Structure 1
Amino acid sequence: MSYCHVLIFFLAITAIAKCDDEPDFYTFNVQDIEGDEVSLEEYRGTVSLVVNVASLCGYTDTSYRALKRLQDILGYNQKFNVLAFPCNQFGEQEPYEDEVIYNFAKTNYAVEFPMFSKIDVIGENAHPAFKNLISQSSVHPDWNFYKYLVDHNGKVLKAWSTKTTVEEIFNR
């Protein structure tokens, strides 16, 4: 084997090992909106639309309605979930505590999809699960209602900004 072949082989093995060592989205633990620790492993085997949500955003009403509709349509076979993560980093539009956020979503939109405790999604204090989404997609949320489509193995398939509606994503 030539030096060039050995180098190519080494680089290929290193790249494969690096891919296998990188954690996927489902390897993280989070706190649900009621304060219980949850392993995202629960969602392995399903496709998830992960969204950072806020109660007071101009996109709240249309986004929550669309997410609810999407969960109702695609979630019936337990192979799809919307996973909602409240965040107050953008315009301070999620100032409430978890209990108030949950009651707001249940009362106004009858959401039945999993909701998690309020977290940071960007910056130094960003939750590791969101850091993973950003790392995989190279898409940093800069407002509320960013959407990350995660496959059944925890790999990000695609990410969309706030202005891309759920209908635009799933009508393609």
Structure 2
Amino acid sequence: MEALGGYPVKYSGPKVKRLTVLLSMTVGIGCLFLLQTQLLKPRKPADFYSFEVKDAKGRTLSLEKFRGKASLVVNVASHSEQTEAAYRSLQELHRELGTSHFNVLAFPCGQFGDTETGTSSYIEAFAKSTYGVTFPFFAKIKIMGSEAEPAFKFLTDSVQKVPKWNFWKFLVNPEGKVVRFWRADEPVESIRQEVAAMVREIILKKRAEL
């Protein structure tokens, strides 16, 4: 085959087709890889109840079991100056409002001096035998720094505050959003009023859905 002017031109039709097919396959494989990467990428939990944590015995537990209830999440300690008063008031609140609509959730933390030095199972046993608590205990965690427990970090990120001592309290609504927090030295009565109001809302909503 000759082009204008008499110069020969090689016919490369099949080569062009093969190159086009190869490029199409490469692009297709690349798109599939990117799609798979996005699908396999772990999703960031959208709320507190979307997390999994360890219980005091080291077993994995989904916080999903508490969805639909109000939760008062507390970083507890066995040997703080506030331990006795805090445990007794928390247990009273837990018993008073009942577990059908509300729970105190205790997360031991050993980042504040020597106020929490035992193992998770010992901490739970000590609190139950000494103060008669019946609310759920979880594994001892860190709440500050790069090793902070993700579920608890969700709480602190939500309010833009990190506990500076033991027994800070975070109120989580039935949808898993943090609506309020209290420092250790704030009166229990204000906590009781707000938690009780949330529990009433949950009960009324459930009755309306019947």
Q: TM-score, normalised by structure 1?
A: 0.84
Question: Do the aligned partners of 2:45 and 2:51 also contact (CA within 8 Å) in 1?
Answer: no
* Match of residue 72, structure 1, among 80, 85, 95: 95
Identity rate of aligned residues, in percent? 47
Match of 1:109 in 2: 131
Question: Which one has more relative contact order, counting CA pairs under 8 Å at least 6 apart?
Answer: 1
Q: Which amino acid aligns with 1:132?
A: F
Pick aligned residue for 1:48 from 59, 71, 88? 71
* Matches for 1:140-155 after TM superposition, within 5 Å: 140-155=162-177
Q: Distance in 2 between matches of 1:34 and 1:72?
A: 23
- Identify which of 146, 150, 153 aligns with 1:124: 146
Aligned-pair distance for 1:106? 0.7
Quick check: 1:66–1:167 contact (8 Å CA) kept in 2? no
Corresponding residue for 1:93? Answer: 115
Q: Runs of 4+ in structure 1 displaced over 2 angstroms?
A: 165-168
Give the structure with higher Rg (CA).
Answer: 2
Matches within 5 A, 1:10-89: 23-76=46-99, 78-89=100-111
> Structure 1 residue 131: deviation in Å?
0.9
Q: Cα offset for 1:167?
A: 2.4
In the alignment, residue 32 of structure 1 is paired with which amino acid?
D
For the residues of structure 2 that align with 1:144 and 1:126, how far apart are their CA atoms? 15
- Equivalent residues of 1:51, 1:146 under 8 A apart: yes
- Is the 8 Å Cα contact of residues 51 and 147 (structure 1) preserved in structure 2? yes
In 1, are the aligned partners of 2:87 and 2:131 still within 8 Å (CA)? yes
Distance 1:127 1:22 in 2: 13
Structure 2: segments with no counterpart, 5+ residues: 1-43, 195-210
Gaps of 5+ in 1: 1-20
- For the residues of structure 1 that align with 2:187 and 2:166, how far apart are their CA atoms? 12
Moved more, 143-152 or 32-41: 32-41
